Chains A and B, each alone.
Chain A
């Protein structure tokens, strides 16, 4: 029982990170049809910049804000310098461009921060919290709570503000969005900036647990993408559900089978679900694109 609880806590914690990465994918995908494979690098940037700024003596809060800011700047730069110049190129071309961007960002991080792992101290305390015999790190509660707060904020911005509605309108019908006067370029800037912020928040929260290094983004992008597919590409709720499920599948297989296979099992589970439900768990049946 304590063991199971332990695995579940780990699964939800890591699943929260996948969920945020998947949410970032979803935001950009919905507005543009582009899958941004540099999404994992935002998590890396969030963690790395926090590490670097706290090392310079900044308080944690300031470092975190700085990390989100740097990530947003990088996200916007990706759009302006790499994605927008591709113009009306096919989504596949743009996806390959984002893979190139991801490789570039990893290289830059390696030069700046080296190849070793970096960490920050847990924000609250190093003492785990005991729940029914399971030892849960206090930071895990921050990851889960932070993910919940970030996705709630995301939802409110999307549903309750005019610019959020403009994003949803663009996702629903890009042609009509232009005809009501929505500036698609501005929507894309917001999508890339927002995705970058979401990814950075994940990186800031999880780095005390998982540590970070220049190349953590690669696996996170794959996991986040798998989570988005699992939940149904394009559905924010699906992204959240997919991320949590993937995290749970991974933690449980690592606990009960072998941690050597946890990645393989998580991907296999995703693959199996997609065979049964090609649109993912919460995916739309057909996407009406123009």
Chain B
């Protein structure tokens, strides 16, 4: 569904990611783990078109999308829940969700919104509240809900567990797992490697902008080197 091959890029003259190749299939949850500053966010930003690549190719459903501006990649079915949630703070929860379906002018917007409220009942109670007034966990739910409003085929999440209480982390990751079982291709970036690999089918380990390991999650979770480096053991 999503195939990234040989992606290189960075900020101005500073190259941050080097020749990265990552792929995610339909109904597959793939984790991308790595320490601070490894380049995970940079890769997601490049895939969604927020910043350019200096080399490599991005394909969605076999079609190259690397030349498209960000908003047209959304139209192709790619959604990105960015690091730090990035909700529209002054706007209401409902407006945030409505804007999630910005490119979708048909009348099933309210049905999709109800589905998000089913998924995250806490949001339904706050539907008229300003997004900026929500708790961190609620903002994360809103950021995910907003991404789902575009009915994506590929969903990328950048550290959805960051700064959340452990029980909320479980709620959010359970939901993400469910979305993959329902057929979505999901690329999950996490520093919380154990939690991510537990729900993922496969995983990539990224270190200073390069992929150092790629395997199924079980194997990665058992890997000695990885346990020492990332799993805090």
Contacts and interface: CB of A to CB of B under 8 A. Distances in A.
Nearest to B104: A181
Given A162-B102, A165-B98, A166-B102, A176 B71 contact: no
Contacts of B50: 175, 178-179
A173 B49 contact: no
B74 A169 contact: no
A175 B82 contact: yes
A181 B88 contact: no
How big is chain B's contact interface, by range? 20 to 34
Interface stretch (B89-97, B199-207, B209-217, B220-228): B89-97
A288 B89 CA distance: 9
- Size category of the binding interface on chain A: 10 to 19
Chain A interface helix/strand/loop/mixed? helix
A260 interface: no
A180 B74 contact: yes
Interface string B70-106: 1100110001101000111111000100111011000
A173 B85 CA distance: 11
Contacts of A183: 69, 71
A179 B103 CA distance: 11
B71 A181 contact: yes
| For the complex of A and B, 10 pairs with smallest distance between CB atoms | A181-B74, A178-B70, A181-B103, A176-B86, A172-B88, A181-B71, A169-B88, A183-B71, A181-B102, A180-B102
30 contacts: A162-B102, A165-B95, A165-B98, A166-B99, A169-B99, A172-B88, A172-B89, A172-B90, A173-B89, A175-B86, A176-B146, A178-B49, A178-B70, A179-B50, A179-B74, A179-B79, A179-B147, A180-B74, A180-B100, A180-B102, A180-B103, A180-B146, A181-B71, A181-B75, A181-B102, A181-B103, A182-B71, A182-B99, A182-B102, A183-B71
Interface of A: 162, 165-166, 168-169, 172-173, 175-184, 288, 290
